[in-house]
Structure 1
Amino acid sequence: MRKVLGNLTYGLYALGVEAGGRKNMCIVNTAIQVSSEPAKITVALSKNNFSHDLVKEAKKFSISILDQETDREIFGRMGFSSGKDKDKFEDFPYGEDELKNPYLNQALGVLSAKVTDMVDVGSHTLFVGEVVQAIALKEGTPLTYTYYKQVKKGTVPKNAPTYAAATEEPKKQESATKRYRCAVCGYIYQENLPFEQLAEDYKCPVCNASKAAFKTVE
């Protein structure tokens, strides 16, 4: 089942939400348009996500459409840390839509929606929103989930609906060389240069975590 589910295609987006003065953002791959009249979009959020609770409370959200040039820091900041524990927007510039939801200034464009329906689908809630504002920001090529994994070598947060389908362990190397995994995002270092020989200022290529965040893989 995992192999077949892994063949489904997705885009990658940043969902922003504001509720009672609290702002948060997370990376999602389940935003799609489901109606043209009126224009409606849906997004699935894990019930374990802080953004899930805020969207459920505020009944609104924004979707920033990412492009292939999206800085990897965005994924680390917005996708692999929780807004419950930190302010993701500290020292980070962002825009606000007419509903006061935050959005990424670096995005191709933004869709702002008011929630009209919520459907419990198990581990996630499916939020249906009517689009009330569309903001075009720049030209570019939309980022797909496949490009993120194969070209950017990105990994998947544990709360993503595709987590089970996308996080199978890579085959162990035949050599005795140790492998190192980023404790923040799960990225496994598998380059030719031994990890121990990397410069101390090495950063995870996915989430920008420091070299100290890497742990050996048994």
Structure 2
Amino acid sequence: MPGLQADAKKEETSKKQPHSGVESKKLLLLPVDKAKIQLDVLTYFSESAYYTAFVAFKKEINSTFEPSPLLKEREEIRIFAADGKFLKVLAATQKLLPCLLFNTPGMAFEVIKQDILEDMYIRNRSEGSALVRIEKELSPIVLDHPDLLPNLEDLVSSILFGESSPEEVIIRRDAIFTSINQLLLMSVDYVIQNSIKSLLMGVSSALEMPEVTVLSKNCKMLHGILESLTS
């Protein structure tokens, strides 16, 4: 009967609630490693290019944790990306590590492509203007790297048939920055590892490497290593 079924459901629910409450209390009683959580937060800020937040939180908890290299510069690039200013992203990345985008033409293509899409869908420039930029800025990259031709064709098709939207363009901003950020961190690791090998072979030859010169100015850890070895 409906009345009996309703009573049975109420009884079942009332039985479950105390059990759920006990489980919640058990979870609240679990020990929390505050130091580990603080370290995780600092690591996230450091690796994800939140320089301002990293400095503020590090000061608040009085930590000696050293950030990943080029944190301040990576934050600048992240802010440019969040604002949709991808030509500034390109310029800042090239200034930081001149060979990075040259060695990864696919990434250079994606950054310029994103700025063209920003022009069309966010800054309300014309379809014709977008096609002119493709011809001037992306065609030379594709001529040097024919494997990127399908990417170029997809972009032209997307513009001609309006296959994107402002929302999709905005969502892409973070994905593009994340890729650049990972490339920067990987490149820095590579340079540091190889500069240490060079140091073992001869400090003077390592100091002549342009990558080491740029990084030593921006990476306190590497600068300290070089200083200690040459003093």
Range of TM-score over shorter length:
under 0.3
The structure with the largest strand share of the pair is 1
Higher relative contact order (CA 8 A, sep 6+): 1
TM-score if structure 2 supplies the norm length? 0.26
Structure with more helix by fraction: 2
Q: Which has the larger radius of gyration?
A: 2
